[in-house]
Chains A and B, each alone.
Chain A
């Protein structure tokens, strides 16, 4: 009658583990390609680049990944964690499937970006740096993506929405769903 539920879950877990292993291998390959020597005093210069790659692969930087990077680069976990916690870009919690970036740079602010943020908050029920319960959406504030002539600006992945009004918010959320179901 098809696959038993337990078997299905096991397969999902296996898939998950296999996927994880692939991801770690990918990161490992990248770190190796940098030719980092265990006691090279300049090895730390690669850390930010490695973290960018790791976040690209895993989507975020949980502690297991931090430990992996620390071990591979022969750095202390505290150093790696300290760097991650400093920079806006790096996150230790997973983001939503659709990451909504609302620019609050000066040009956008002056044109009412704060109200756009409030509207998104109202409609999705989450605040900045939070994720919806179904993990579909997350909101982040960015400060200036450099499209100031077309302020206010909202970006979702590589889609940039220009001259956004509060009326556009619902449309943008809908479009995320439509694009993902294609």
Chain B
């Protein structure tokens, strides 16, 4: 493979590679070729999502078989099969796309391959079964751009994910890869920093700290020994934005780290990645190897005297290591215990040297800001929250997956326009953002625009991007308890308020969910929560009470119902409700047949009865009944 030693080498390669992604991108330089290919159907590309999500549903098997099938038919010079990153509509995986048509195929199975190649690719027949179905109109929508899920999205961080083959440096170069770095190397580090400052980019890991200012503080620190760290310890359960970027577009993060290194004066980069992401680790290892071989990592990059290299460090399963000082402790081979700030890492970080820690998504935004200019970025989003944000939409929603929207998009737009509304026609109760550090925003506030400020004001926070949709069948006390139990397990144990406080809070919550809470339980939780927030050493403890405090704020009546009346209306806390069959019962025997505890007494066409003593509250009858005859009491 040819080395890329200078800027000229880079641009020459960019020129040579323009046909590589011709069918997939709207590249002006090869527009004519693309039109021709479309007309004559001479060239085709089939993209298969290789992200962990779809891979868990056999997408890698699909990729291999499809490739083989096409080879066997001698079509591999006309039809290229490429493995890419996440397309975003994960709920409908495995997902495939074909270009230049931009057809979108969902819920693909290995069994479909023969037919797909024969009938659809060769004979040009529409295979309706493979297309996306609109949940309301029931219409089939073959083209991705017409699928509602995609209409309101705007991709910056995810611009290349699901487009390029993440294992090929040449494809990255074909989409202007490393041109941002080339541009930076021709200006001073302070100029680079000013661009980032002007763009208004804020940390995407949750803190929301202005990236440009962080870089500036570190730049001003004396000394040649500095570090830039990529925080890939995405620990929020339910969040997989960073993983998708690393699996789908690793080179953008690596390029951005070099840009950051240049800006702050660091020659060494470290990516701290959680061990639970083996695919992402492999992708990064492959990418780093290619960069080193072609001299985009190492000494004198692109003919400049700037040298830069990157090391991978693995986590070992500790959520707290997402906190920057704990992360640094872990890189140093220690227990992941945070340290007091000040001093901040920009002053005294890894091995006591000035260090900048940025999130994966923050890095992914850097190259386009450099290439398109800070004004372009600042024109997207709102006044204080510029640009876009990637969210991992999950929970009781029809179309969960990975989305990227401009800041300022409302929750309503995300849940209904993009996510297709709630599953099974249920009522929206709340939206949880920010993971264990965040809070629950009730349905009344569904028109809240997504910005750092508005989410914080609502008692939640942006967090890293996890967004969980909660419906009427979820108990808010139980949700708070779930998050607190997570936090208890992940607290490092160093400081007293978090170590002991995050044990006491779930103890009180358990008392509430099991029906033996004391009358002042809510006041206790509020007081304790406030102290833990104020007194804890790090962000984990300081935000741990948020799920409790926000659910108390907006769902106080649920708490009171649990405490005073010992009732759980949502039918989750087993001691606090029973299932009862009402008059809607048609005597169909479905619940009777499915009850694992034999707790239902029923005869055909007669109203069934549940025996409370035998009932284990497993919920199967409730889920199975089609007549709304089983209610929570």
A touching B, CB within 8 angstroms? yes
Determine the distance from Cα of A160 to Cα of B237 in the docked complex, in whole angstroms.
Answer: 17
The answer to the question of A89 belonging to the interface, with a C-beta cut-off of 8 Å to chain B, is yes
Cβ proximity bits B467-478 to A, threshold 8 Å, 1 near / 0 not? 010100010000
**B255-305 CB contacts (< 8 Å) to partner A:** 275-277
A131 on the B face (CB < 8 A): no
> How long is the Cα–Cα vector from A155 to B276 in the complex, in angstroms?
11
CB distance from B574 to the nearest CB of A (A): 11
- Is B313 located at the chain interface by the 8 A CB criterion? yes
- Cβ-defined contact, A150 with B90, below 8 A: yes
CB proximity of A6 to chain B, nearest CB, Å: 43
Chain B residue total in the interface (Cβ 8 A): 55
Decide: A150 and B333 in contact? CB cutoff 8 A. Answer: no
- Separation of A153 and B277 alpha carbons in the complex (Å): 15
C-beta contact mask, B613-628 vs A, less than 8 Å → 1, else 0? 0000011000000000
Let me know if A145 and B52 touch, CB within 8 A. Answer: yes
In the complex, which of the residues A42, A82, A88 contacts B317, with contact meaning CB atoms closer than 8 Å?
A88
Contact of B334 among A83, A107, A150 (CB under 8 A): A83
* Partner among A45, A86, A142 whose Cβ is within 8 Å of the Cβ of B336: A86
- Please indicate the chain B residues that have their CB under 8 angstroms from the CB of A82 in the complex: 335
Contact B316 A144 (CB under 8 A): no
- By beta carbon, the residue of chain A nearest B336 is A86
CA distance A47 to B470 in the complex (A): 41
Chain A residues within 8 Å of B235, by CB: 143-144
Question: CB-CB < 8 A to A31: which residues of B?
Answer: none
B595: Cβ under 8 A from any A Cβ: no
Residues in A whose Cβ lies below 8 Å from that of B571: none
Complex: A141 Cα to B204 Cα, angstroms: 27
User: What residues of B have a CB within 8 angstroms of the CB of A104 in the complex?
Assistant: 237
What distance in Å separates the Cβ of A113 from its nearest Cβ neighbour in chain B?
Answer: 10
A residues 131-147 in Cβ contact with B at 8 Å: 142-147
**A161 within 8 Å of B (CB atoms):** yes
**B415 close to chain A: CB less than 8 A:** no
Distance to closest chain B CB from A56 (angstroms)? 11
Instruction: Report chain A residues within 8 Å CB of B435.
Output: 106
Please encode chain A, from 107 to 144, with 1 for each CB lying within 8 Å of some chain B CB and 0 for all others: 11111000100000000000000000000000000111
- How distant is the Cα of A74 from the Cα of B20 in the complex, in angstroms? 51
Tell me, in angstroms, the Cα distance from A44 to B328 when the chains sit together: 12
- The answer to whether A150 touches B53 (Cβ under 8 A) is yes
Q: Is A149 an interface residue (CB 8 A)?
A: yes
Report the Cα distance A161→B400, complex, angstroms.
18
Contact partner of B332 among A44, A87, A153, CB < 8 A? Answer: A44
Partner of A52, one of B243, B316, B394: B316
Measured between beta carbons, the chain B residues less than 8 angstroms from A60 are none
Contact, CB under 8 Å: B275 / A89: yes
- For residue B104, CB closer than 8 A to chain A, the reply is no
A149 touches B351 (CB 8 A): no
CA separation between A48 and B336, bound complex, in Å?
Answer: 11
> Which of A104, A107, A146 has most B Cβ within 10 Å?
A146
B514 at the interface (CB under 8 A from A): no
B333→A115 contact, CB < 8 A = no
Q: How far is the CB of A120 from chain B (nearest CB, A)?
A: 15
The distance from the CB of B555 to the nearest CB of chain A, in whole angstroms, is 16
A83→B313 CA distance, assembly (Å): 15
Expressed in whole angstroms, the Cα–Cα distance for A103 and B53 within the complex equals 13
Q: Could you tell me the distance between the alpha carbons of A51 and B317 in the complex, rounded to whole angstroms?
A: 13
Query: Which residue on chain A has the smallest CB distance to residue B337?
Result: A86
Is the Cβ of A162 less than 8 Å from the Cβ of B57? yes
Most buried by B among A47, A48, A160: A48
Q: Given A44-B332, A45-B331, A86-B335, are A147 and B240 also a contact pair (CB < 8 Å)? A: yes
With A82-B335, A83-B335, A162-B56 already in contact, 18 other A-B pairs whose C-beta atoms are closer than 8 Å: A45-B331, A87-B315, A87-B316, A87-B336, A104-B237, A106-B394, A106-B468, A106-B482, A110-B395, A110-B468, A110-B474, A143-B319, A143-B486, A146-B244, A147-B56, A148-B394, A155-B56, A160-B56
| Minimum-distance CB pairs A-B, first 4 | A149-B90, A88-B317, A105-B237, A160-B56
**28 contacts across the A-B interface (CB closer than 8 A):** A42-B351, A44-B333, A45-B313, A45-B332, A45-B333, A46-B333, A48-B333, A49-B314, A86-B335, A88-B318, A90-B316, A107-B237, A107-B392, A109-B482, A115-B619, A142-B276, A143-B319, A143-B486, A144-B235, A146-B53, A146-B243, A146-B244, A146-B276, A149-B53, A149-B89, A149-B394, A150-B56, A151-B394
